[in-house]
Amino acid sequence: MYNQEALVNRLHARGIRVTPQRAMILRAVEAMPGHVTAEELYAAVQAESPYVNLATVYRTLDLLKSLDLITDADMGTGATHYALRSHADHHHAICRACRHSVEFPDHLLSGLIHDLHTGYGFEAEANHIVVFGLCAACAKIEELHSSPA
Amino acid sequence: MYNQEALVNRLHARGIRVTPQRAMILRAVEAMPGHVTAEELYAAVQAESPYVNLATVYRTLDLLKSLDLITDADMGTGATHYALRSHADHHHAICRACRHSVEFPDHLLSGLIHDLHTGYGFEAEANHIVVFGLCAACAKIEELHSSPA
DNA sequence: TTGCAAATGCGAATGATTTGCAGCAAATTG
DNA sequence: CAATTTGCTGCAAATCATTCGCATTTGCAA
Ligand SMILES: [Mn+2]
Ligand SMILES: [Mn+2]
Ligand SMILES: [Zn+2]
Ligand SMILES: [Zn+2]
């Protein structure tokens, strides 16, 4: 867990300009609980200053992504969800029927990541990924639908 | 490996209408090598008959997906890639830098799938998935960029 | 046949993300 | 410093895959 101004400091450290817009966006990212869409961040930042553009939010998110300070994930809602790297000590299993999400720990992926690395030299960037499928409850329901004989 | 009319027969068997459009689209799906976008299928079908609409291609793909006869995957190109279920005995590791794709066998996911099932009752639908990251070559290049000291 | 649910074509709409560009601000240079 | 280059921003327009509304057919069963 790092302090509130961590992202700002990191950008400074790498010699990247920290404009007022960026500072606001970074603070908004850090203040967000869990995953956020660009639109949600935009709303949060607008509350502080109405003169920040959505395009700038996207551009800043791209920047943070390229610096590996945030993760992005498609949670199946249409919009990309962003989160701090420090958030991502887990992954998500999302039910395609009821949309419920189960968090599962990082180590469940360690086997796959290891195999990809030793087998193919591939460095998987599986920081905060999403696996789709059916939750226990919805799986039961689908079962009834397919074999009611 | 099943015969050319397999999909048509399967739809018949389930009492689903097989219109000329659907038949053409199904045959195009079966004739395609590997993964295809809706647009590519559309082009293939148009070559046979110009009066098939792109919306119908999408609707038919939805149908096939709901019947679990095809898989869909985001290969990072913007458009969804569809493939026959019979194609999907593997998955892909795609390099975010050079875009190269490595196929890896299904069993590398078996641990994860098993753990999700026993641990959470979650039935992962990981038939033809994509893991992003860096291939061996591009990983070396990134290494130089970050630690040239 | 007749009737109705399902399927299609067409064009318009959607909605997240990107881009072109002109104005500004910060950094760099001599 | 003043001049010049470089990077960042707002704004509006563009992209582009996918979906929708709706009027028109089609398939199949009574
Ligand atoms: Mn999460
Ligand atoms: Mn494949
Ligand atoms: Zn569910
Ligand atoms: Zn590569």
How far apart (Å, rounded) are the C-alpha atoms in residues A129 and A113?
A: 12
pTM for this model (two decimals): 0.90
Domain limits, chain B = 1-86, 89-149
Say whether A89-149 and A1-86 share the same fold: no
DSSP state at residue A32: S
Residue A39 CB-density burial (10 A; 0-12 exposed, 13-18 middle, 19+ buried): exposed
The SS3 of residue A144 is: helix
| B71 CB closer than 7 A to any strand C atom | no
How far apart (Å, rounded) are the C-alpha atoms in residues A40 and A81?
A: 10
Query: What is the distance in angstroms measured between the alpha-carbon CA of A48 and the sugar C1' of D11?
Result: 20
CB contact under 8 A, B122 and A134: yes
Query: What confidence tier does A9 reach under pLDDT thresholds 50, 70, 90?
Result: confident
Question: For chains A and B, what is the number of CB pairs under 8 angstroms?
Answer: 95
The fourth-level CATH superfamily of domain A89-149 is Ferric-uptake regulator, C-terminal dimerisarion domain (3.30.1490.190)
CA distances to A7, A63, B38, B39 from B62, in Å: 42, 35, 11, 14
Flag whether pLDDT at A87 surpasses 90: no
Token pair of A108 as six digits:
């469940």
Higher-pLDDT residue of A17 and B13 is A17
Flag whether pLDDT at A15 surpasses 60: yes
Res A3: pLDDT? 45
Residue with tokens 């609409």: B53
Token pair of B70 as six digits:
């095809």
Strand D close residues, chain A 54-93, CB < 7 angstroms: 55-56, 59-60
| B49 CB closer than 7 A to any strand D atom | no
Query: What confidence tier does B87 reach under pLDDT thresholds 50, 70, 90?
Result: confident
How many other β-carbons are positioned within 10 Å of the β-carbon of residue A71?
21
Residue with tokens 């799906």: B29
| Residues 6 or more apart whose Cβ sits within 8 Å of residue A54 | A38, A39, A42
| pLDDT single digits (tens) B92-108 | 999 999 999 999 999 99
pLDDT, averaged across chain A: 90
How far is the alpha carbon of B137 from chain A, nearest alpha carbon, in Å? Answer: 8
Protein contacts on strand D: list nucleotides below 7 Å from a Cβ. Answer: 7-13, 16-21, 26-28
List the beta bridge partners of residue A114: none
**Which of the four CATH numbers 1.10.1060.10, 1.10.10.10, 3.30.465.10, 1.10.760.10 does domain A1-86 have?**
1.10.10.10
Closest amino acid to nucleotide C6 (CA–C1'): B17
| Interchain contact B2–A (C-beta under 8 A) | no
Res B2: pLDDT? 44
Higher-pLDDT residue of B147 and A49 is A49
Res B144: pLDDT? 76
Query: What is the distance in angstroms measured between the alpha-carbon CA of B77 and the sugar C1' of C20?
Result: 23
Ligand nearest to C-alpha B99: 4
Query: What is the distance in angstroms measured between the alpha-carbon CA of A114 and the sugar C1' of D7?
Result: 40
| pLDDT single digits (tens) A101-137 | 999 999 999 999 999 999 999 999 999 999 999 999 9
Q: What is the mean pLDDT of residues B109-136?
A: 97
Which H or E run includes B26?
helix B20-31
